[in-house]
Structure 1
Amino acid sequence: MAGCLPVWHHDAMNALLHFHTMLPDSETPPEWIHLLPAGVFRGADGRGPYRLENPDALIRHSMEIEHGKILLDENHITDHAAKHGGSAPAMAWIVELQSRADGIWGRADWTKAGDDVWEKKSYRGLSPAFATNTDGVVTRIARASLTNLPNLTLTHLHTQSENAGMNPDDIARLLGLPQGSTESDIRAALGRAGSALTLHSQVTELTGLPASTSTDALVTGLRAKQETVSTHAQQQIDGLKKQLGEVRERASQAWLETAGKRKVISEDLGKELLTLHSQNPDTAEMIVNGLVDVPKNVTMHSRGASKIQPTAGSGGVASDLSSAMDDALGLTEKK
């Protein structure tokens, strides 16, 4: 478009581009002006594509670089004055930037010169100047100018209470709010929507899913991942339970072998005590303590927590044990 070539900023990293958009037809200058559209955009002359990413970071960086006041002049006179000298008065100062559903908006504090120009209806458009990196991502909003060569198609706010050229009730409905919601309610809902988009982006990155994944597909993916994690966790729990059971079984076996050396424990009773000890050691110990002691002149040990046999030096096989115990207890019938 003739007379609307980008002006290059003396910055080794970023090129400063000027685009243009129509201004509202009103008696007084608008408090809020639309500076950049959301998402991916091009100029009417085909330049681009450019992308608006991380609006909050862009706002912080732009306001920090410009010390909290972004210049609004006329016809990019500031750039010409920087090259050739001359006056470059401000028509307004953009003292606040906001991220909204349709892009970046700026609150303009108009000067007397700006009010006079607006009253004369000297300009019909606005040209925001911004810098991008090599990938086309907008990195800074540098300034804006009044112009008669509009290039970007943007919406506008005539006053602070109007909402991006849309009926507030329509915006509320799209956000799931009841009809008649206040501007504060709508702004809060827009903030939550922005947070939700950020969360969606972070979750898709963590799960390895594409950023374009729908919410339903993302929830399905998270559930599948949760089920996989739960199955693995249950397998670990089952393995630990099995190990614990084996430890308890070995402990009960060792206890029964020790008890069989001091108390007379039958094979059947030994099996019952083994099971009981794994569940209630105190009760098993109490039962064993009530059993008959092994005679002092008989040495005994248990094998496998079930059989009670004499040692190799105790005088014979299991059948001799009964006789030895009878003799020790005085139960042998004398001939």
Structure 2
Amino acid sequence: MLLPRGQSGVISTVDARGPFRVADFATLAADSLADSGGRLPIDENHATDLSAPNGGPSPARGWMTELQARDDGIWAKVEWSAPGAALMADHAYRFISPVFTTDAAGNVQRLLRAALTNTPNLRGMAALNSRQEPTPMDLLAQLRQLLGLPEAASESEVLAKIKTLATPPDQVAMASQILAPIARAVGMPDGAETTAQTVLAAVTGLAAARQTESSTVIAGLQAELKDVTTRLNTVMSATAKDKAVAYVDGEIARGRVGVKALREHYIEMHQADPARVEKEIGALPTLGASGALQVPPDAGDGKLQLNAEHITAARLLGIAAEDYAKTLAAERAD
């Protein structure tokens, strides 16, 4: 589920934003996909909006290639990347959190992307990894409600009630109204003949299909997927470590101050977040060929710009940063 329909078309939120409204779910789905070129990205925890503007990573974990407007909201068909498929297999996230634009009145105008999350802001979102079709218990509950039966009615009582529905010429319209929502609930295509016999056959067939689902086959597929995911993660981890070692050792060779003593620490951090580590190490000073500390250039106004290492050194020496800058400037002048 990408976007819930909400109560009476009003989508409420957990925080103070919203509420939001959608005039036409089918039009919103079609226009949003068309504007994106047929592919809307899914990232993790809104990295595109929170991490990317600061230079952080925001890889897509999947691409939404089809949007469908349904009775309960908009659903998306997703092509998962290898890391995204692994996250889904591990049940690492429970929900999808959409990103969309609205007008001043809160009317949703376009769906832009979505994020994997465990704390969705929109109320009424369906959890990931759940079956989109009704489970047997859900189906029975829907049928009881549609047929006006009590909640305690058994499956045999539900089927018996359906069998009693007759369709003589003077009751065709009434029977059609009763049977149409039942037909949709069991997955009959729109426009299909909805007599008591055809709907009963669909209900019986659906129940039989579920009873013959092979748990052995499903378990085998799950085991195979887990094995492939494990091997993929191993390869990705080895590649990440090779890149981390190459970068950190390269900075040590350049004379980057403080990196050699924390080599293993920086390698481990680089595997988890390369951009952050490279930014931190890039801010450290280097030693020149003579062993002297390479200080940064002035800002163009004759004042030396101190980096974090210089400010820390001044604090340890117990002198003001401005005085330390004057000392460095004098040494550079000599």
Q: Which has the larger radius of gyration?
A: 1
Greater helix fraction, Structure 1 or Structure 2: 2
With normalisation by structure 1, the TM-score equals 0.41
TM-score by length of 2: 0.41
Q: Whose RCO is larger (CA < 8 A, sep 6+)? A: 1
The structure where strand makes up a greater share of residues is 1
